[in-house]
Amino acid sequence: MIIVSIIVCAVLSYYFAVFIQNKKVGYSLAGVFIVLFIGSIVMLVSNEYGHFGMQKVTSEKTVQIQTVKKGANLLLYKELGTNSKEDVYVYRTPETANAKNPNHTKADIHVTNKVKKGSSTNTLNQKTTRWEYKNGFYSFLFGISDNNKEFIKQSNTFQIGDDWLVLSTTQANKLSKELNSKKIQTQMKSEGEAYVKAAVTKAMMVNPSMSQAQQKQIMQQAQKEFKAQAMAKVVEEITK
């Protein structure tokens, strides 16, 4: 609408200045529309560069997330910038669990990503701020600019459990190769069996009358502990 206003004011100011016989009236009317013409241009420029008639609106949503690689609790990120300010985090949601392409955060210097461990639920809290028109009048006036809901900034906070690993896609590929190595698998198997045997032996010394069910529980806990320790050791190697 503002573009139409500028055109109309320009045409009318020219018409009144040239074609009205009574020059006093004609110039007066032309002056009015010149002022309106200039005012419309000022408002258009103010909207384009100063977001006149708009306000910042922040929306917030929280979604459940899942690991990209099944069988491993991994939160991956792809390094894009030189100072980690444009890293893109890759994840899935229950809706995209079986989709071809996973979800990812926006690659933009105005997007910040934080990871917090220790959560009992794995979620992504996303706050997005955009420019929106204050009311329908401003939307009608400047709608042709197509700048409604213009992106300003976004903050992403991933809350994950302590058993999750945060790795770059490059590190994740190295981890996968290490874990698929026959040498590593053989080593982890033998060390794991020894770790579990030692844990059960220690528990039996404390409680010789331990039942089969209790022994099984000790074995399962020991296997879980060894897996976490072995994984941490491999991750430490590939992240050096």
Distances (CA, A) of 159 to 65, 89, 113, 115, 133: 9, 13, 11, 6, 33
pTM, to two decimals: 0.75
Give the Cα separation of 150 and 130 in Å (integer): 5
Give the Cα separation of 35 and 40 in Å (integer): 9
Helix or strand run (H / E) with residue 36: helix 23-50
Q: Is the pLDDT at 237 greater than 70, yes or no?
A: yes
pLDDT of residue 2: 82
The total of other beta-carbon atoms located within 10 Å of residue 164's CB is 18
Contacts 24+ apart (CB under 8 A), 28-35: 33/9, 34/9
pLDDT of residue 48: 87
Are 92 and 68 a contacting pair, CB within 8 Å?
yes
Using one digit for the tens of pLDDT, what is the confidence trace for 47-96? 888 999 999 999 999 999 998 877 778 899 988 866 656 789 999 999 98
Are 231 and 165 a contacting pair, CB within 8 Å?
yes
Query: In 3-state terms, what secondary structure has residue 60?
Result: strand
Across the chain, the runs of DSSP E, i.e. the strands, are 54-64, 74-78, 88-91, 103-104, 111-117, 123-133, 150-160, 165-168
Average pLDDT over residues 117-132: 93
Reported as a pLDDT band with limits 50, 70 and 90, residue 154 is very high
Domain ranges in the chain are 2-50, 55-166, 181-238
Give the Cα separation of 64 and 62 in Å (integer): 7
Using one digit for the tens of pLDDT, what is the confidence trace for 18-52? 888 888 888 899 899 999 999 989 998 998 889 99
pLDDT of residue 82: 62
Average pLDDT over residues 174-203: 85
Average pLDDT over residues 211-226: 88
